[in-house]
Structure 1
Amino acid sequence: MDKDETTDNNGDPNAGELICTNSSNVQADHNGNPWSTGLFDCHEHKTNALMTVCFPYVTFGQISEVLDAGEMTCPLGSYIYLLMMSALCTQWLMGSKYRSKLRRKYNLVEAPYSDVISHIFCPYCALCQEFRELKNRGLDPSLGWNGILAEQRGTRYADQQMKIPPPYQAMKK
């Protein structure tokens, strides 16, 4: 008998062991990379946490603009989310859709809860986590898609030496 096995008084090696089985109906996707921050780590970016509590539709708009590579603008995404908030609290539909999109893009694990559950019961935490994930990957949603592109171009051009034109130029006939 291995020293890791435990037995009860009757000699049953599985006694005292918790046996967990996975139901085929309820399976979380535990394959993939971990998130850079946890679902409840809102304190890691206080400005975004406060913004999300007051204006969750703006945070969603920023996230959707980045994930859609500028095809959906922040104002349009915010407006759709706001409409869904007032329409029987159905904003979780859009939130979970974009959370799934983010997970697929970066091969992230669907944890600690499914995308739908995260956006039904913890919508602010889910939005903050998605915002932080994009920011930690170098895509700051608060800049917007065009701001991210400009920042990336600026970084690329900063490495090149700038040629200064001659100080005096004139045109002659």
Structure 2
Amino acid sequence: MSGEWQHGLCGCFDNFGLCIVSWIIPCYRFGKNAEAVGEDCLLCGIGFLVPGLDLFLGAHIRSKIRESKGIQGSFVGDLIMYFCCPFCALVQEAQELEGASPQAESMARE
């Protein structure tokens, strides 16, 4: 448990495929992130399409990811993150759930 995210908020292009899917169909990616922490994929994916509800759900799922990975932060910080940069937050969470660190990916390429 490092207490920090494996990928930075602007590390969207660490996994280009994941980045593209998240930008084109964010409700799908959000549903998959929610499913990974024990929430209903379909309900969360549909809820992500509702303005206002998407902020609350995003912060809720981000908080669950943080807690499961031992990352420091707060619900208010997660809410602000989804208000300011929802797609970057979505990709960061997906990368965290996939579990590959940037260092491990660069070592695998060598």
Fold conserved between structures, TM > 0.5: yes
CA distance in structure 2 between the aligned counterparts of 1:91 and 1:34, rounded to whole angstroms: 24
Higher RCO structure (Cα 8 Å, ≥6 apart): 2
1:75 deviates by: 2.5
Two-structure CA RMSD over aligned residues (Å):
2.0
| Runs (4+) off by over 4 Å | none
AA aligned to 2:6 is S
Cα deviation, 1:27-58, whole Å, max 9, x if unaligned, reads xxxxx611111111000011111111111111
Q: How many residues align?
A: 98
AA aligned to 1:118 is M
Structure 1 segment 93-132 matched on structure 2, within 5 A: 93-110=56-73, 114-132=77-95
- Greater share of helix: 2
Contact 2:44 2:57 survives alignment (8 Å): no
Q: What are the ranges of 5 or more consecutive residues in structure 2 without an aligned counterpart?
A: 101-110
CA distance in structure 1 between the aligned counterparts of 2:47 and 2:56, rounded to whole angstroms: 11
TM-score, normalised to structure 2, is 0.80
TM-score, normalised to structure 1, is 0.52
Q: Identity of aligned pairs, percent?
A: 29
Q: What are the ranges of 5 or more consecutive residues in structure 1 without an aligned counterpart?
A: 1-31, 138-173
